[in-house]
Amino acid sequence: MRIERYEKIFMALTLVVLLAALAAIGVGVFAAEVHLPAPAGRVDPRQIRRTAPFDQPGVREVAPGEYEAVIIARAWAFEPNEIRVPRGSTVRFRVASADVIHGFLVENTNINVMVIPGQVAEVAARFDRPGEYVFLCHEYCGFGHHQMFGKVIVE
Ligand code: CUA
């Protein structure tokens, strides 16, 4: 079988591109130590209402200007769906699902996580500007997905 010269060149180029891609993945995963975010904790979705801190969902001040918001995500609501904090607060959200996969996104912040059953998602943001920040589920979770939202009210 005879291989044309251009064909050989293309085969060589394909190999180069493939090796470059594998090398890039290798560098990204091993050398640069890229990790997937690890869950901040674990919670059995069936036991969530009996497991601290999710037995008491809500917001509490843990230090001056620092708040912890414990939120249960379930089909199709967040509990609680309204959180009030004073301006300048840093809020650490701890979100876990009581059933299926949900998402948690807070507008005008960099918060955007998946809420995977069995895992506690932990994210934080500082709220310097007063106003309302809508948070919502961004993983399709069924019939009522579109009504799964709430808000952070910064006073
Ligand atoms: Cu929960 Cu979509």
137 lines ligand 1 (CB under 6 A): yes
What pLDDT digit, counting tens, does each position of 12-70 carry? 999 999 999 888 877 766 666 655 556 788 999 999 999 999 999 999 999 999 999 99
Nearest to 41 by CA among 118, 123, 98: 118
The beta strand positions in 47-148, using DSSP E, are 58-63, 66-74, 77-79, 82-85, 89-97, 102-106, 112-115, 119-127, 131-136
Q: Which ipTM value was assigned to this complex? A: 0.98
Atom nearest to 140 CA in ligand 1: 2
145 lines ligand 1 (CB under 6 A): yes
140 lines ligand 1 (CB under 6 A): yes
Per the listing, tokens 């809020």 go with: 91
Q: What is the pTM of this model?
A: 0.77
What pLDDT digit, counting tens, does each position of 89-130 carry? 999 999 999 999 999 999 999 999 999 999 999 999 999 999
Residue nearest to atom 1 of ligand 1 (CA): 102
Nearest to 150 by CA among 61, 50, 72: 72
Q: Which helix H or strand E contains 41, and what residues bound it?
A: strand 41-42
